[in-house]
Structure 1
Amino acid sequence: MQEVDTPSTVKGVPLAPGDIPLLGHGPRLLRDPLDWLQECGRAEPVLRLRLGPRPAYLVCCRELVHDMLVGRVNSFDKGGSLLDRARDLLGNGLVTAGHTDHRRQRRLMQPAFTPARTDSYDEVIREESAALTRRWRAGQEIDVLPELTSVTAKILGRTLLPTIDDRDADHLSDCFQILLAGSFMRAAMPFTWIHRLPTPANRRYNRAWAGAWAVADQAVAKARAQSTSSGLLHALITAGEADPEGAFSDEELRDQVTTLFIAGTETTAGTLAWLFHLLTLHPYVTKRLHRELDEVLGGRLAGPDTFPRLPYTRAVLLETMRVYPVVALLTRASSTDVDLGGHLFPTGTDFFFSAYLLHHDPTVFPDPDRFDPDRWTSPAGPAVRRAFIPFGAGKRKCIGDSLALTQATVILSAIASRWHLTPAPGSHVRPRLRGTLTPAGLRLVTQARHSPRAGCGTPSQEG
């Protein structure tokens, strides 16, 4: 891959390991992203990347990443090749919008994500979680990620986007699986002429793109037509009418639908899929988790009243997000000339940073590849708080972080209280980074657990 030596190519920044002549770093990013990121983490604080003709840089140091996201947030905006592809997919929604649009969008959406509103979604989360576990049968082989994606999509539809029915939610999930993979491929291998060829993969991508946006447009039209509609979409319509900057257009509302759907399904489902995979590898953690759920819940599902009494359950979730952050790679673009790591970068420079890389920093997390929920049983220190960014940090931190943790805790309690999951014969799990970091090939077999009756509070036996 020929990189153009432009004024924005900063001299003296070392090249990241794994560069392949003509192709750059794209193949390593697609083939073995986690090993490659760890190699980068052992190199320099800032590394030069070859991902197309535009110069880009990987920021590996937690202090520099914190500086980008929090300390000098006004010097960096959403940008870079990954975000360009995300905008193709999601439009100008809350995740992809620049700072100016983001302030307005977040202000209008914030009321739907207050603690009181998040708690009000609990009943729906519990109903859908219980329905999922009732559908399973003992000895059944489960394709875990699609099952979890389906339940999170149903929850999102009933709480935030009620004008999307279950069938449309499933269709959106299928479309976004294709679109996420295709968008990441296009960011890692940005040869635009390849993606215009009439290949089967490009045709699938184009059909999925048209299908997803059609469902989102339909959801917006229904929300406008139903004056008594509930959910975030209707709230945005009514709030926007009174906003001094004007109401949301249909196009802006559609962008929020696609953004919320991706952010509200793929991330939680991916985290839970990784969690159940890790539990199969760590039976001692599984026993401690089961014991806490049985003693505290006694066969019931978790809820806001019981969350404070489930510290180990929360620790298991946090440690899962540390080991396998679903949003593993993000980008920013400098909006001014900036100094990072002793190098002066001009306005418009693209920067990558990785939650996975920071979460595996051995100076912050000793023995970082070890799955150890006890890391989170005591308060986190400043270094941990800066390095641990599964939801981002600063002004652009995920607006739905509390809702995501609530949803994940309830679904986890529903599954783990009723089922013990073991690896399916011949299954081989491998990490796959295609927009989100998910476990490919994760198939588990259900074993019924003998859960106690609700209220008895006695530990259950292993199935």
Structure 2
Amino acid sequence: MTRQRRTRYGVPVAPGALPLLGHTPRLLYGSLPWLLRCRDGDTVQRVKVGPRPAYLVCRPDLVHALLVSHDFDKGGPLLDRGRDLLGDGLGTATDANHRRQRRLLQPAFTTARINAYATVMGEEAEALAQSWQPGREIDLLADLTTTTMRVLIRALLPTIDPRQADQLTSHIRVLIAGVFIRAAIPHPWLHQLPTPGNRRFDRARTAARAAADQVVAAAHKSPCSGGVLTTLLVPADDAGIPAFTDEELRDQVITLLIAGAETLAATVAWLFHLLARHPHVEARLHAELHDTLAGATATAADLPALPYTRDVLLEVLRLYPPAPLLTRVSTTDVVLGGHHFPAGTDFFFSAYQLQHGPDFPDAERFDPGRWSAPLTAAARHAYIPFSSGRRKCLGDAFALAEGVILISAIASRRRLRPVPDSRVRPHVRLALAPAGLRMIAEPLRR
């Protein structure tokens, strides 16, 4: 075990801290190797980022306690900066408001609703696959992000103006690129300096909020148009829960677009990157799609008949979880890993670290076959690509359905191959994305 210097509360400092800068460079550059290195140390380690003490929790059962206990709430450096962008949406709301928001949002994510959205998912996925000219290089991640964004916008409000949708997509891209940097450097005064990056971020945030306000206003004008947003335009229910205000609806629009677009796009991009390097997995996936769909795009009714495609998606989510590092804050004095911490303490935890740990044999190997048997109890605690507990992602079923439909539309029409000499590497932004991914779309020959 790596020797670590003990600090207040007897907690060792995580490895890799730099003088004056602490662990901020590790979070901005090379955070994934650093997280795996921390796994070899103590179960709880001090992380030096900003003026407040923060701690990295490295054991699955302790992370599970962090996620299910009412002694912890959404907070910490990542969530604090996220609120600057997302407002008080479902992903950033504290427990005091989260329960009400989740109850109001749940009707928009029922199985019946997701099945209805599947038509939009299929249309956009087919349009993407057919837009690629055989033999031409494509920017897979950018194309997938545009497609997932269009799916979400059409699901939010089917009558949205296409030009308005494109503008909102452009603003969201700028915000996604800047929010992680702001979270890793938790000094608000730095983000108020008149630098080009700060000005660009502020302009995009203002424009995105204005565009989201227009989307909400359009939903009020067309309350029978369908979609997620019109579902949320409801009065207080029988239990007396107040309906969303227009400002809260705006926050939900931005939350859904940011949380649901690039995350899934990055996952599907990783999937095709891995398929190109594992031909036996690609062949088995193509065989299942061909035998089940015969070249068509999956519909909601087809999803149960595509178990291997789903297993491939689950394995990619294990290797490259969309949100590799998240935070919580204690709401009362707590004991974690044998250490006592006061209320208001920030905690980090990493799905990437846990999902590359010993609970998954040969964890660095891409092996969709590991999902053919139920996970052990320990592995269930370690597998958290959608988080866990009462704050588990409300859109997990939506994302899995859209992922399988995207895969079916693309893999039934094109075989994607890497551009020679291209070098792909993980890049942590708001989502764990494959930087340098350059691919060529080839015709599918059986």
Q: SS at 1:446's partner residue?
A: strand
2:362 corresponds in structure 1 to 367
2:323 corresponds in structure 1 to 327
1:277 aligns with 2:273: yes
1:194 corresponds in structure 2 to 190
Say whether the 8 Å CA contact 2:22–2:48 is kept in structure 1: yes
Say whether the 8 Å CA contact 1:157–1:163 is kept in structure 2: no
1:288-303, aligned counterparts within 5 Å?
Answer: 288-303=284-299
Partner Cα distance (1:141, 1:239) in 2: 50
Say whether the 8 Å CA contact 1:301–1:414 is kept in structure 2: yes
1:118-157, aligned counterparts within 5 Å?
Answer: 118-157=114-153
When normalised by structure 2's length, the TM-score is 0.95
2:381 corresponds in structure 1 to 386
Residue from 12, 15, 22 that aligns with 2:13: 15
1:403 aligns with 2:398: yes
1:112 corresponds in structure 2 to 108
Residue from 56, 66, 69 that aligns with 1:68: 66
Say whether the 8 Å CA contact 1:157–1:169 is kept in structure 2: yes
Q: SS at 2:183's partner residue?
A: helix
**Identity over aligned residues, as a percent?**
56
Deviation at residue 207 of structure 1 after TM alignment: 1.4
Q: How many residues align?
A: 440
Partner Cα distance (1:167, 1:427) in 2: 34
Deviation at residue 292 of structure 1 after TM alignment: 1.3
Gaps of 5+ in 2: 1-6
1:222 corresponds in structure 2 to 218
State the Cα deviation string for residues 305-363 of structure 1 (Å, max 9, x = none).
3222222111110000000001111111101111000001111110111100110012x
> What amino acid is aligned across from residue 192 of structure 2 in structure 1?
R
2:416 corresponds in structure 1 to 421
Say whether the 8 Å CA contact 1:153–1:170 is kept in structure 2: no
> What amino acid is aligned across from residue 27 of structure 1 in structure 2?
P
Deviation at residue 240 of structure 1 after TM alignment: 4.4
1:161-310, aligned counterparts within 5 Å?
Answer: 161-162=157-158, 164-240=160-236, 244-310=240-306
State the Cα deviation string for residues 150-192 of structure 1 (Å, max 9, x = none).
1111111222233544333333333233223322112212233
Partner Cα distance (2:169, 2:16) in 1: 33
After the TM superposition, which of the residue ranges 104-113 and 282-291 deviates more from structure 2?
Answer: 282-291
1:457 corresponds in structure 2 to none
> What amino acid is aligned across from residue 404 of structure 2 in structure 1?
T
Partner Cα distance (1:269, 1:441) in 2: 15
Partner Cα distance (1:327, 1:192) in 2: 22
Q: Are the structure 2 counterparts of residues 427 and 87 from structure 1 closer, same or farther at C-alpha, using a change threshold of 3 Å? A: same
State the Cα deviation string for residues 117-143 of structure 1 (Å, max 9, x = none).
111111111111111111111011110
Residue from 18, 27, 30 that aligns with 2:28: 30
Residue from 423, 426, 430 that aligns with 1:435: 430
1:58 corresponds in structure 2 to 56
> What amino acid is aligned across from residue 394 of structure 2 in structure 1?
I
Q: SS at 1:238's partner residue?
A: coil
Q: Are the structure 2 counterparts of residues 165 and 62 from structure 1 closer, same or farther at C-alpha, using a change threshold of 3 Å? A: farther
Partner Cα distance (1:123, 1:447) in 2: 26
Q: SS at 2:9's partner residue?
A: coil
> What amino acid is aligned across from residue 407 of structure 1 in structure 2?
E
1:100 corresponds in structure 2 to 96
Partner Cα distance (2:195, 2:136) in 1: 37
Q: SS at 2:217's partner residue?
A: helix
Q: SS at 1:233's partner residue?
A: helix
When normalised by structure 1's length, the TM-score is 0.92
Say whether the 8 Å CA contact 1:48–1:57 is kept in structure 2: yes
Partner Cα distance (1:195, 1:120) in 2: 42
Gaps of 5+ in 1: 1-8, 451-460
Q: Are the structure 2 counterparts of residues 369 and 61 from structure 1 closer, same or farther at C-alpha, using a change threshold of 3 Å? A: same
Say whether the 8 Å CA contact 1:62–1:387 is kept in structure 2: yes
Compute the RMSD of aligned alpha carbons.
1.5
Partner Cα distance (2:175, 2:96) in 1: 27
Q: Are the structure 2 counterparts of residues 164 and 265 from structure 1 closer, same or farther at C-alpha, using a change threshold of 3 Å? A: farther
Say whether the 8 Å CA contact 1:108–1:239 is kept in structure 2: no
